[in-house]
Structure 1
Amino acid sequence: MEISFLVWVLTIAGLSALIAVDFFIGRKPHDVSMKEAGIWTVVWIALAGLFGLGLLVFGGGKQGGEFFAGFITEKSLSVDNLFVFILIMTKFAVPSKYQQRVLLIGVLIALVLRAVFIAAGSAMIANFSWVFYIFGAFLIYTAWKLIKEARAEETDEDWEENKLLKSVERRFGVADRYHGTKLFIREHGKRVMTPMLVVILAIGTTDVLFALDSIPAIFGLTQDPYIVFTANAFALMGLRQLYFLLGGLLRKLVHLSYGLSIILGFIGVKLVLHALHENGVHVPVISTPVSLGVIVVVLAVTTVTSLRASKKQAAAEAAHQVGEGEEGRAPSSADGDDRAETRR
């Protein structure tokens, strides 16, 4: 789909306006309620839906289908990111009232960095068709790695600061406590970073690692840079509210990694088949509707099985605690009286 420079400008301006509204509403540090998170999650999903319908009307069914497939894929992958965001928030002991500000700025940094990745990926695909083989192989490898990590049941200590973040901390120094939403302060005559800036950079730069699989994944669904960018933008911009809305539910999605590994592996195979087809090899090509159907079904099944497994685990733990309580309970005087009455 050919997108004019004017449409690009209007799209970026519209997205910037939405981000500005989001920032204006959340400018005052506060604890985000479930109601607020729920309303804004619905708003962002509705906006993405309206944008997709606009593409269906003005761009055609192919473009609309690619957007929805890309948006759902990126959204599901971003939910997996939230697990790591929780670890980062916990590690840096971010006060709850500042977490929404951290996520807002961190996600903006992630969006800018992803735009760079998308531009680079588009240029590579336009000039080198063999890149599809690399993307496909990488996604299949990532799918296999996800399954290994899910089976290993990694613990909360797995997240560590990356080298870039450590070097920035050494260069500028870090204050020993939070100073509201300030990013820099003067301490002993020297300008140092606050923990607020450190955790924002941690959120933003950590997302780059997730982009290494999410960007090739969406290029496996569409090679249109406009759709790739907008799908990523809408998926990321609702991430902050989703963080607060899901909360404890994330812990219940125990099979999410398996579902994502299936999706990434499927898209990896799709990319390899596409590359072979482009090189003149007669192989089946997976259409966008089929891709969208597979993604939706896998996510639905994964969610249902996760919630069932979590419910069974909670019931088993409750039964175990009750059993331990019964075994550890000391005999009461009433028990003694009952036994004496039985003997009589």
Structure 2
Amino acid sequence: MQRRVFLRTVTAGVGAVAFAGSLWQDAAGAEPAALAGPYGPLGPADANGVALPSGFTSRVIARSSHSVGGTIWHPAPDGGACFADGAGWIYVSNSEVPLIGGASAVKFRADGSIDRAYRILSGTHLNCAGGATPWNTWLSCEEIFRGRVFETDPYGNRGAVERKKMGRFKHEAAACDPVRQVIYLTEDESDGCLYRFRPNTWGDLSSGRLDVLCGAGSGVTWQPVPDPEPAVFEKQTRHQVSAALHFDGGEGCHYADGVCYFTAKGDRSVWAYDAEAETVRAVYQGGGTLDGIDNITGTAGGDLYVAEDGGNMEINIITPDGTVAPVIRIDGQSESEITGPAFSPDGTRLYFSSQRGTSGEMAGTGGITYEVTGPFRH
């Protein structure tokens, strides 16, 4: 795949650094267009309350507090990812509640039927998002003050391990860059930062260095965080380096083709860090069809899929030519948010959750996890 370039020049509240350029060459200098998109317009909501383009279908695979595959599905389902498992696959989902939090997994057979479900992490707090690693583990992140990162086994064979060197802060998402052998991390604070963790040995997260993204003239650079594990009353990670860039409410994170895409809910933006050019630019800024920007995932072909926290409960596609359009909408759940979008290994199924479902309860006992099948672009 050819390298992508960015959409437009912005400054958008990240200090005095001017971020020049445009995402995806054909769209340089243009505003994203709110169009029907590559799949056409959404049809009326189906029996599951999900509006989809023609040719797509939905099913409910799990409900919070109900049994699925022999286990009770967790409340407040949040960040997720898929993992290949022989002829089948596994979908992992976090639980964004205090005290019991953690994460669960659903194992699918080759025909898409559910084999079983099981817990892979328990006893943690407000596990929001995270990220998959190239060595097939799931990084589950706590979205709390001095939150932690836990490396878990989606296959359920090994216990979870806290990865202390990845920092203690209000973690959101993680995305692995196998070329530079680093892991990017977002922070859900109004003045949050973008971090990268460089393990001493790629594939072993027990030791390494935590850096923070900083402004450097017309570009950006990385500086080490002096104390990645500050005590409660010490200066927290986002305030330790004066040159650090700050983003308003870091959320989802996705790496592809040399670019780390990450979202900020405060200014309703999708940002992109080009690891080769060492620049940060905006892929999208709020004001159009996409609102309540939160979790993000993507495809090998360059499409991004961004889920809304609130808004009108949509997952929108952002294509390489700059088109922004809804692909999925959940009706009748305005007090919820869409979380955990992740494609099956073959790219034909998209999994996600409505964290609070129709109830809107903050405890998340009404959470619903969906699967949408259709002719997704690869």
Q: TM-score scaled by structure 1?
A: 0.24
Q: Which structure is higher in strand share?
A: 2
Q: Which structure is higher in helix share?
A: 1
Q: TM-score scaled by structure 2?
A: 0.22
Higher relative contact order structure (alpha carbons within 8 Å, sequence separation ≥ 6) = 1
